[in-house]
Amino acid sequence: NASTVFTFNKGWLIFNVRRPNLQICHLYVAPKSKLGAAEIWKNTREMCTEIGGIKYITMNTQRDNKAWERLVGFETVRTIHYMRYKL
């Protein structure tokens, strides 16, 4: 299962996605996203688990990933590998 950690950095909502092959990618949702960060969390909290103050969401299949992209507004999402070094 791929788990996603929700974090905030410089106004971006960052999803740190750790996939089964241990590669990490990041999805950034801009503050002007169709759904703001707070709304995204509000609308997905049923899909998430919070452990030690860190929020996780599990996406088991490609279909789940597509559903997530539609939920957050794919046009505002960029998938970037290791972008954290550039923040």
| 3-state SS class at 47 | helix
The series of mean pLDDT values per 10 residues for the chain, 87 residues long, is 48 49 41 49 50 47 54 41 28
Angle at 59 between CA 23 and CA 63, to 5 degrees: 110
Question: In the numeric block, which tokens belong to residue 2?
Answer: 């791929």
pTM: 0.23
Q: Exposed, middle or buried by CB within 10 Å (0-12, 13-18, 19+), for 40?
A: buried
pLDDT at 23: 38
